[in-house]
Amino acid sequence: MPANQESTLALETLAQPLLLACGVKIPNRFCKAAMTEGLATPRGVPGEQLETLYRRWSRGGAGLLLSGNVMVDGRYLERGGNAVLEDDTHLDNFRRWAAAGTEGGNQFWVQLNHPGRQCSRIVNSQPLSPSGVQLELLGNFARPRKMTVADIEDVINRFGRSAALVKEAGFTGVQIHSAHGYLGSQFLSPVTNKRSDDWGGSLKNRARFLLATVDEVRKQTGADFPISVKLNSADFQKGGFTLEECLQVAAWLGEHGVDLLEISGGTYENLVFMDTSEADEQRESTRQREAFFLEYAEAIASATTVPLMITGGFRKVSTMISALEDGTTAMIGLARPFCVAQDLANEALSGRIEQLPNHEKRLVLGKGFLGTASSSAAIRAINNQGQAGWYYHQIRRLARNERPREELGILNAFCRHMISDFSLGIQRRRLG
C-alpha cells in the first residue's frame, strides 16, 4: 500500500465519529479539553469575549469542545472570572455562548464544578470541604468548614439544577469535574475525606457523592443528554486516591450511565498534569512520555465499558492515532495547543501537520535563577504558574480576536497571571 494511502487511512481513525451510549454522536475524535478562562464578569456572566473565543475554537474542527469551570454555586469559585450558572437570571447570555460554540456543527459541553476547599481566600474566607482539612499552599486558601449532610445534598442538587440549565441554554452535554483536588475529588480521597458517616470511610461511601451527582444530573437532563466525568487516575500523593480505587469507581460510573470518562491526575499539591520537571524525560517510552496518562488508561479501559478520553501531553498526530487504534482511548483531549493554534484539528485531519505546538520546554527558568539549589521548589512554582499564565494570556488574546503572542516570556506571564487573578478575586469578593 502506498505511504500516502496508509497516511489517509490512519487519519480516518481521527475523523471517525464516536457514538455515545445516550445516542449522541461526536463528529470526530478531537476534543478541545477544559481550560479555566477567567473571562466572565465579576458576577459570573459570560459575554462577548467567551462567545468570540469559542466561536474561533468551534470553527477549528474539533468534534467536541469542553468549557472551562462553570460553577454551580456563586459563593465558591475556582478563580475570579469563572462563569456561574445557578439560576436562569442570565440564561440568554449562556444561550449566546452555546450558539457561538456550536457554530461549526460540533458538540459543546459545559464543565460543571464546585471547588470545595480549593477556593481562594480572596474569593471566600470559609470554603467547604468533606472534612475541614485545609489546603496548605502559599497561604492562598483558608481553613474550610466541614460540610453537613444538608450541605452535601444542596451541592448535589445544584449540580442537577445547573445541568438542566446547561441543556436549556442549548449546550449539547455536560461534564462533572471530579479531578484535580476539587470537591468531587476531595470526597474520593482519604487525605481530604475523613468522615465516618455514609459519605466517608470505605471507597463505596467516598464515591457516594460523585455517583449521587451523576444520578441527579441524569434525572434533571434526561436519558439522551451526554454526561461526562473527569476523574483522577490517581492523586499521586501519599494516602490519596489510588489507581486501584479509580478502576472500581470507573466501573461504577459505567453502571450509572456515564457516556464519556476523561482521565487525568494530581491535585493542587501535586500537579502531575503541569509538571515541568526533568522527571518526564525518564519515562519508559516516547509514547508514555508524550501522553501523561496513557499507561493508566490502559488499565482503566479494561475495567469499564465507558469510552475514555485522555488529556495531557499529546503533541504528535501519529501518537494520537496509535492510542485510538490500540483502544487505549476513544477521544484525544488537547488543551494548551488550542491556545496558539485554534485550527489544529482541521490541520491534523487534513494531514497538513504531524507535530503540534509545544512551548513548555522553552517556558522554564533554570534552577540557578534565584541563586541556590534550595530554591528549586520556588522555581518549580514559578514555572508551573508562569506556564499557566502564558496560556491564559493567549486565551485572552483569542477572546479579543487577536493573534497569539508567542514571544511572551515566562516571568512576564507569571507576573501578569498573579496580578490578574488577584484583581479578579478582589472584584468578586467586593460583590459579597
| pLDDT tens-digit readout, 176-190 | 999 989 999 999 999
Whether residue 408 lies inside any domain: the answer is no
pLDDT of residue 309: 96
Whether residue 305 lies inside any domain: the answer is yes
Whether residue 286 lies inside any domain: the answer is yes
What is the count of structural domains for the chain?
Answer: 1
Task: Determine the Cα–Cα distance for residues 21 and 244; give it in Å rounded to an integer.
Answer: 25
Mean pLDDT of the chain: 86
Whether residue 383 lies inside any domain: the answer is no
Report pTM.
0.89
Could you give the 3-state DSSP secondary structure of residue 279?
helix
**Cβ-based neighbours of 204, under 8 Å, separated by 6 or more:** none
Whether residue 49 lies inside any domain: the answer is yes
Whether residue 378 lies inside any domain: the answer is no
pLDDT of residue 215: 98
By residue count, the chain amounts to: 432
Residue 303 belongs to domain with CATH number: 3.20.20.70
Mean pLDDT of 226-231: 97
Q: Would you place residue 239 in the very low, low, confident or very high pLDDT band (cuts 50, 70, 90)?
A: confident
Could you give the 3-state DSSP secondary structure of residue 96?
helix
271-301 tens-digit pLDDT? 544 443 433 343 444 444 456 677 788 899 9
86-107 tens-digit pLDDT? 999 999 999 999 999 999 999 9
Task: Determine the Cα–Cα distance for residues 19 and 146; give it in Å rounded to an integer.
Answer: 41
3-state secondary structure 146-212: ECCHHHHHHHHHHHHHHHHHHHHHCCCEEEEEECCCCHHHHHHCCCCCCCCCCCCCCHHHHCHHHHH
Whether residue 373 lies inside any domain: the answer is no
pLDDT of residue 364: 63
> Is 417 buried (19+), middle (13-18) or exposed (0-12) by CB count in 10 A?
buried
Please give the residue range of the domain that contains residue 250.
10-358
**Cβ-based neighbours of 390, under 8 Å, separated by 6 or more:** 359, 363, 408, 410, 413
Task: Determine the Cα–Cα distance for residues 328 and 3; give it in Å rounded to an integer.
Answer: 25
Mean pLDDT of 16-22: 98
Cell numbers for 301, please give them: 479501559
Whether residue 403 lies inside any domain: the answer is no
Query: Taking 70 as the threshold, does the pLDDT of residue 333 lie above it?
Result: yes
